[in-house]
Amino acid sequence: ETGVTQSPTHLIKTRGQQVTLRCSSQSGHNTVSWYQQALGQGPQFIFQYYREEENGRGNFPPRFSGLQFPNYSSELNVNALELDDSALYLCASSASGVSPLHFGNGTRLTVT
């Protein structure tokens, strides 16, 4: 059974640029969610995708957007990067919206 994989592991971007992070869900999981974890804090919910549609969103601006593909993999896109976007971005998959979440190892994004 393949777990959740994320790429890249680390990324450095300049303020104002755009970034795309990628996630492959665990086999058998059709729901993918993304979380942002600032240093020393708990993860914060960005959004959730089910059957290629966004079906839930946290308190993040529209410049955070995503996609889910037919194979259930997902992308997180962030436009107009700000310094405060520097964080660990975690992707999680689950068999349904209320079943156990399984996280990938995350992408560490640094915005300079």
| CB 81 to another protein: min, Å | 21
| CB 55 to another protein: min, Å | 5
Does 44 participate in binding another protein (rule CB under 8 A)? yes
- In 3-state terms, the chain is what percent helix, strand and coil (to 5)? 5, 50, 45
Does 62 participate in binding another protein (rule CB under 8 A)? no
Quickly list DSSP for 59-104. S--TTEEEEE-TTS-EEEEE-S--GGG-EEEEEEEESSTTSPPEE-
Does 94 participate in binding another protein (rule CB under 8 A)? yes
Task: Return residues touching another protein (CB under 8 A).
Answer: 31, 33, 35, 41-48, 55-56, 58, 88, 90, 94, 96-103, 105-106, 108
